[in-house]
Amino acid sequence: MDKYNKLKKTSYKLRKDIFTSIYKGGGGHVGGSFSIIDALTYLYSEILNIDPKNPEDINRDRLIFSKGHSCQALYWVLCHFGFYSKSYLEDYGKDGARFAGHPEFEKAPGIEISSGSLGHGPSIGAGIAHACVLNNQESKIFVIVGDGETNEGSVWEAILCASQLKLNNFYLVIDNNQFESLDKTSNILGIEPIDEKLKSFGFDVIRCNGHDFEELDLSFKKIINLDSEKPKAIILDTIKAHGISFTTGITKWHYRSPTEKELKIGLEELDKIINA
Amino acid sequence: MRNSLRDALLEIKKPGDKIYLIVGDIGFGVFEEYSKKFKEDYLNIGICESNMIGFSSGMSMNGFLPIVYTIVPFLTMRPFEQIRIDLALHKRKVILVGVGGGLAYGNLGPTHHSFEDLTLMTILPNFAVFSPSQPSESKEALTAALNHNGPSYIRLGKNGEPDLSKFMLKGNSNLKNYCYDYKKADVTILTYGAITYECIIAAKELIKDKVNVAVVSFFKIKPLPKDILEVCFESKASLIVEEHTTYHSIGTHIASKIMQRGLRGKLKILGINDKFTEEVGSRDFLLKAHKIDSNSIVKTIREMIT
């Protein structure tokens, strides 16, 4: 099995975990979790230098998960890559559970920040990146934001700042699933052409299909290997709730719990892809 | 206070330590020496307070101890949610230093005044809050903030506040007693910040008229030292004076603590009465406009004792 096929099977297995967890927990952000899960799987597998056995190592790369509502994807990816056991997720959605519906930094190894209010991660990431430069650390700082999240002015303050300080260890990853909560981003507060905007703000920019592992691989490696003083942006063109036929691109799956029947059909569909 | 804080920072800061000064394009002429001496540990991040707070949180996550400086309302109110989440919730050791607390910016107008900041900053868990009354307390506040294992806020006046030591009778690390021994006084004024001087002027005038008025100032606002409540209990009558709204304030917090224990003497709070500044003028003029100048304090105390 080639690397990309293996990664795809992993991310579809994680979709099963996410869908089941949201069903059992009585609700969660399916849409944003399914649009970012492929990129998260790719990053933890191929790019990030973070040792799950030593997750506080000062020289680690950082993944700042700013679009906190999609935490189901983060929770299950961290679990899959050995940061903690599945027991951490068993009580999700129950009173007294370890994890909330948005990530909290002290709840488990690998969760760098508490997020949920949008637009906070880029500034925090820029601060970490600047500190790394001052300390001569070679860590790379990846900040994952949603396209709707870029409505926040603070995101653009951080973009200006990263550019001004020439933080070439700062990677802004935009999960451009083209939907906010209630409608398409273009109908609310459109951001396109986001690549041109970021270029004009002084970023090296690459754009790719965020569900295609070969494209992800080529794009991330290309931008990481650029010899440039500029901060970097990777725009992932994704589809909200991508992975199951009846959730893909459907607004209501922004936040929802599947019915028992939807869970069954959904898991069967995901299994077909995993077993193909 | 601004310059004394700068001097304290220059005294405390050592090459190679992790103290890192971030200013929000404020402080002309204030940090020139610092920025030359510690070029690598200084950043004018620009006019982007939300980013400035998140950025400082990120720096502290990677081993630095940021001190963040700008004008009080822009420091505390503009980026309040970043302060709440990125600093307070994340327990980051970052020191916010605000210049121009209360009415210090006088005729620059209401956008530059701040009499809501202490309410905002004290309601956040994990925060320590300080409000020096005189230049020498800037260093005490900075030292206390450096010793606090979490985020801090230091509310400064501006510059040129008088040294109050010549009026001091006794003091400890938590409080300073001016003009008259509060244990024997008819009325004790409890206060913090630059308005302490107005209280001293008022007390001296009343003492001339044989009304024995003590002034007790404190700069540790949160956690509030227990000594402060004890002063209230040991006084026949207490007047809390603050250059801040009294609508959810340090004064009302103290009053609530006192009421829960059982009030023994009289207690009154004098501060800014739930209104923006409409008049234009210097701080002294605006203290009068808001009826918190020394004459208004004298008048209030006379009413309390009759």
CATH 3.40.50.970 residue window(s) in chain B: 2-155
Residue written as tokens 């959730």? A247
Among 2.40.430.10, 3.40.50.970, 1.10.443.10, 1.10.287.610, name the CATH number for the domain at A37-241: 3.40.50.970
Contact yes or no for A123 and B86 at CB 8 A: yes
Give A1's pLDDT tier (boundaries 50, 70, 90): low
- Domains of chain A, residue spans: 37-241
Give A272's pLDDT tier (boundaries 50, 70, 90): very high
Query: How far is B74 from chain A, CA to nearest CA, in Å?
Result: 14
Residues B253 and B224: beta-carbon distance below 8 Å: yes
Q: CA-CA distance, A149 to A156, in Å (whole number)? A: 10
Position B264 scores a pLDDT of 79
The first and second tokens of residue B254, run together, are: 């103290």
Closest A-chain CA to B64 = A131
Position B28 scores a pLDDT of 86
Query: How far is B87 from chain A, CA to nearest CA, in Å?
Result: 10
Going by their DSSP bridges, the two strands B168-171 and B176-178 should be labelled as antiparallel
Contact yes or no for B59 and A131 at CB 8 A: yes
Report chain A residues whose CB lies below 8 A from the CB of B63.
Answer: 58, 131, 135
pLDDT, tens only, A38-61: 999 999 999 999 999 999 999 999
Query: How far is B3 from chain A, CA to nearest CA, in Å?
Result: 27
Query: How far is B166 from chain A, CA to nearest CA, in Å?
Result: 44
Closest B-chain CA to A132 = B62
Query: Domain spanning B2-155: which superfamily?
Result: Thiamin diphosphate (ThDP)-binding fold, Pyr/PP domains (3.40.50.970)
pLDDT, tens only, A82-117: 999 999 999 999 999 999 999 999 999 999 999 999
Contact yes or no for A131 and B62 at CB 8 A: yes
The yes-or-no verdict on residue A268 having pLDDT over 80 is yes
Give percent above pLDDT 70 in chain A: 100
CATH 3.40.50.920 residue window(s) in chain B: 165-305
The yes-or-no verdict on residue A24 having pLDDT over 90 is yes
Q: Is B138 helix (H, G, I), strand (E, B) or coil?
A: helix
B129 burial (CB, 10 Å; 0-12 / 13-18 / 19+) is: buried
Contact yes or no for B64 and A113 at CB 8 A: no
Closest B-chain CA to A106 = B90
Non-local CB neighbours of B52 within 8 Å, separated by 6+ positions: A123, B22, B24, B45, B46, B68, B70, B79
Position B113 scores a pLDDT of 97
Report chain B residues whose CB lies below 8 A from the CB of A142.
Answer: none
Side-chain half-sphere exposure of A216, counting CA atoms within 13 A: 27
pLDDT, tens only, A205-232: 999 999 999 999 999 999 999 999 999 9
Mean pLDDT of A147-166: 98
Question: Which residues of B have a CB under 8 Å from any CB of A?
Answer: 20, 40, 43, 45-46, 48, 50-64, 81-82, 85-86, 89-90
Of A113, A128, A154, the CB nearest to B62: A128
Q: Which of A117, A100, A27 is nearest to A66 (CA)?
A: A117
Q: What is the CATH topology of the domain spanning B165-305?
A: Rossmann fold (3.40.50)
pLDDT, tens only, B152-204: 999 999 999 999 999 999 999 999 999 999 999 999 999 999 999 999 999 99
Of B48, B54, B85, the CB nearest to A127: B54
Closest A-chain CA to B89 = A114
Contact yes or no for A120 and B59 at CB 8 A: no
| Phi, psi (deg, nearest 5) at residue B86 | -70, -30
Residues of chain B below pLDDT 70: none
